[in-house]
Structure 1
Amino acid sequence: MDDLLRTLGPRTLAVLVRRGAEFTAAEDAVQEALVEATRRWPEAMPTEPAGWLVRVAWRKFLDAVRADEARRRREERFGAEPAPGPVEQADDTLLLLTHCCHPDLSPASAIALTLRAVAGLTTAQIARAYLVPETTMAQRISRAKRTLAQHRFDQLGESSTVLRVLYLVFNEGFTGAVDLAEEAIRLTRQLAAAEDDPETRGLLALMLLHHARRAARFTRTGELVPLDQQDRSLWDTAMIAEGVDILQHALARDRVGEYQAQAAIAALHDDAPRAEETDWPQILDWYDELVRLTPDNPVVALNRAVAVGQVDGPHAGLRVLNHVPDDVPRRDAVAAHLHERAGEHDTAARLYAVAAGVASNEAERVHLTKQAARLRT
């Protein structure tokens, strides 16, 4: 029943907000309805759980409106409770998703609100995923809600903003109690099913092609395993096949965007039976396309330097790397890798140590520290 309530909660919230309920008040009403469902459903499950939850949440919202004299005008605007009928699901969820990704919100706020309102995660779960205090995350979500209170909720938001937020959620990956990568894939599936956009399908393909390698990314003791050293028998071949199929259909539309290009690169990595058989020339071609699509993206330029190093040699890769700003994350690690391939082990060891000092997570820090130690011995 917990899984059912977690699925229906965001859908119910979407219906209430679409009908005109203020975001925070609607969320409070949905939470009360979920509590009542938890109490009642084990004894008598309604024949239409979704409809039941919407009706109860709407009544609780109207009760709260009537209880506050300052909201009498809003009560008149809402009028009587709508007659029971089919409960809107996909369209309302999509509206809610785009609303939570409003361009007036910072990326951090949009991600937090999306996970809270659309994915159905608790504030505590989101705080643990981002390694911040629960009070900090609660304040971030509250500020986001106040920002959205100034905007109407009757039309889809900007698709590129939504895709960006979903991509950022996916990149947070697995964090313990909550797998944000799984949540991002689930939400992107809903979005892809609701709109005919090759870039949305490209993003879904990209997520699947990366997530297919999840079982090989870490050892049993939690140590990071680089892509070229992963046990490829652990990769999810069914997920790879699905990602490739989605990507091929997206590319056939001949409207290539950055997520489709990234997915094509991921597919080429997944297609190689061994790291030595990776088609680096074709990967470099796709990076050239990515540079054309996103000319001001330093992360793309950084990854392209790796591809150039594989195709034209490490010194060529280092020359390309010279044009990447020093403050781009993982730049020192890439420089260390290229210097090591060039046989310059002392320089590589020093750069691995520098990269370890600024690593964004413990697994990466341990891996880079070991690389430095390996070269020094």
Structure 2
Amino acid sequence: MADTDLTLPSPPARGSTAAPALPGPPPGGRQSVRPGDQGQQNQGQRDQGGQTGPLPLPPHPPREEAPERPRGGVQVLDEPRGEAPPRPQGGHDLPEGWLPCPKGADPAEWVLDPTLPEPKIRIRHLTKAFGSRVIWEDVTFDIPKGKVTVVLGPSGTGKSVLLRHLIGLLRPTSGQLWVDDKNVPSLKNRPLLEVRKKYGVLFQDGALFGSMTIYDNVAFPLREHTRKGEKEIKEIVMHNLEIVGMSDAAQLYPGEISGGMRKRAGLARGLVLGPEILLFDEPDSGLDPVRTAFLNELILDLKERLESTFVIVTHHIPTAKNVGDHLALLYRKSLTLAGPKERLLSSDMPAVRQFLRGSTSGPIGMSEEKDSGDESAEYDPDAQGLEDTRDDEALPGADRPQ
């Protein structure tokens, strides 16, 4: 069999219009080549020994084993090489009976202190800013289930802003806020509404509808969010008005009652849906000391009756000491200290001691701009505080014989 030359012709010179010449048929017969048969291009080429025939194909490269796929059939691609991000340190084992860590939460931070009651609300690295103005940043603490947590802090530190984040009225700049196993900032529409149904809220001024009677104000959530009949609604409304001592004022309007009564009516409205969490925004605002004391007793009574979690924002130190189980202090755009009440009452931190005593000596100034921000600032325990300015002899009845 004659040698076959399948050498392709050289391409035409640049600028030439002549078509390249095709190789002619080999002598002794006509060669049939199937177009597009690229696998046979090297067939018939002469090897180094002068023999003709197909050249051996190069060996295949060794086959690499594919990485094991995780369950679910989704392959996780390797991260770019480099320094691995630091893993969070610490972390505790999940106590028996606690809610497991949900997807999206950091397991190392799900349990901050296993010796405390299980949290109902977990706040993790929460930051809020309005434009360039930072309200607070990197706030992390727990709100225990079934306990009264009091959030304290000087004016302008974002305590009420924190309450609005708890119910999803505001979204944080960054961070997570877990109510049970739901991350509130990530929820929208109906899932967010379902979380909000867990709350009852007492606003600073009661937030009642002026054109409705007290009865209709308290019945409003039941008519909006349930399918209960009017007979059942009446039983629930009157029961909760009786709890707060307002059953005789059911047919009055908000403008016809005092500020303290409006607060109690607002509290009754917050109770009608059987909330798991009760929020109080400055409950003592605008109340005299006697009414404030009665309101505090009402909160303690509700704590005994209900299995709810209470969150109170206030400046009133007696309320924090008498009602709170856990305290948290916001100061200078951060959380200074949070934990059981005894931990804060016995703290040596200057800002904590100054605020709890109401003293002018310490890092807290007249306004946020006047705050020194120096946590090591000297606190003078002998400086006069609000507790020292009370004149018990001037109180009514002090002159009565004992």
TM-score by length of 2: 0.27
Higher normalized contact order (CA 8 Å, seq sep 6+, divided by chain length): 2
Q: Where is the strand percentage greater, Structure 1 or Structure 2? A: 2
Q: Tell me the TM-score normalized by structure 1.
A: 0.28
